[in-house]
């Protein structure tokens, strides 16, 4: 096993952060029957598909991106990756852009109950953004570039981090398995399997009911 790869990919999170991540899972499961936020129902599915990928990407990107670049989650929806990144990266502010009013209500509720002060939730980009780092999961780069508010306010190049398939040459593939292939491809590597195991083992130790449910 490559020790450098293992160190880069292993999600090292504090117990407080892990507890907050599980609180996010609880909130998502509470809201999902009312407004469809995700097709994943079980705690394990949500952790695997909505939490782990942003955590691995953050660990890969940590200390590699300029602090001054604004962070934007375009089409934030259920909060992955934006809310997850804000939880594990409190030193940066994240702009969560979501057109749906119902989903914005969820994002606002989750941000408040997770005590996140480093997020701004908007229905559309409403300000100039200079060299933004743009995270996207369900939205394509083409959707982003043709959005009228993006065309109005974007005055510089973007650094795209796309979760999911996108053939646009504008997508800078930091690590093709993470950005373009989804986490399923990582199961073929020992370093990912170790990270996944450690992450699951950590979650087992998080006390349930740490936060009261509203």
Q: What is the largest CA-CA distance in the chain?
A: 48
* Comparison of pLDDT for 92 and 186, the residue scoring more: 92
Residue 209 lies in a domain: no
The range of the structural domain enclosing residue 85 comes to: 3-204
Residue 69 lies in a domain: yes
Residue 76 lies in a domain: yes
**Predicted local distance difference test score (pLDDT) of residue 179:** 39
Residue 166 lies in a domain: yes
> What burial class does residue 180 get, using C-beta atoms within 10 Å of its C-beta: 0-12 exposed, 13-18 middle, 19+ buried?
middle
Question: pLDDT (tens digit, 9 = 90+) per residue, 175-212?
Answer: 333 434 444 554 444 444 445 555 555 555 655 544 33
* Residue 75: pLDDT over 50: yes
Question: pLDDT (tens digit, 9 = 90+) per residue, 34-63?
Answer: 999 998 888 888 887 788 878 877 877 777
Residue 214 lies in a domain: no
Identify the three-state secondary structure at position 145. Answer: helix
Q: What is the CATH number of the domain that holds 177?
A: 3.40.50
Residue 116 lies in a domain: yes
Burial 116-152 (b: 16+ CB within 10 A, else e): beebebbeebeeebeebbbbbbebbbeebeebeebee
Residue 127 lies in a domain: yes
Q: How many domains does the chain have?
A: 1
Residue 211 lies in a domain: no
pTM above threshold 0.85? no
- The answer to whether the CB of 27 falls within 8 A of the CB of 115 is no
Residue range 100-120: average pLDDT?
A: 97
């Amino acid at each position: 096993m490559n020790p450098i790869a293992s160190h880069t990919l292993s999600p090292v999170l504090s117990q407080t952060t892990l507890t907050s991540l599980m609180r996010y899972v609880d909130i998502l499961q509470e809201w999902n029957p009312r407004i469809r936020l995700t097709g994943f129902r079980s705690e394990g599915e949500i952790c695997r598909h909505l939490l782990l990928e942003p955590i691995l990407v953050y660990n890969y990107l940590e200390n590699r991106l300029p602090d001054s670049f604004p962070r934007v989650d375009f089409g934030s929806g259920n909060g992955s990756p934006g809310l997850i990144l804000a939880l594990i990266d409190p030193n940066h502010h994240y702009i969560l852009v979501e057109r749906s009013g119902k989903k914005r209500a969820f994002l606002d509720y989750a941000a408040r109950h997770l005590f996140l002060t480093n997020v701004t939730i908007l229905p559309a980009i409403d300000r100039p953004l200079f060299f933004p780092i743009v995270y996207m999961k369900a939205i394509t780069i083409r959707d982003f570039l043709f959005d009228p508010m993006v065309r109005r306010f974007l005055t510089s190049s973007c650094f795209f981090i796309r979760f999911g398939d996108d053939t646009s040459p504008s997508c800078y593939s930091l690590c093709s398995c993470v950005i373009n292939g989804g986490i399923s491809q990582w199961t073929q590597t020992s370093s990912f399997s170790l990270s996944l195991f450690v992450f699951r083992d950590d979650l087992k130790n998080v006390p349930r009911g740490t936060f009261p449910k509203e």
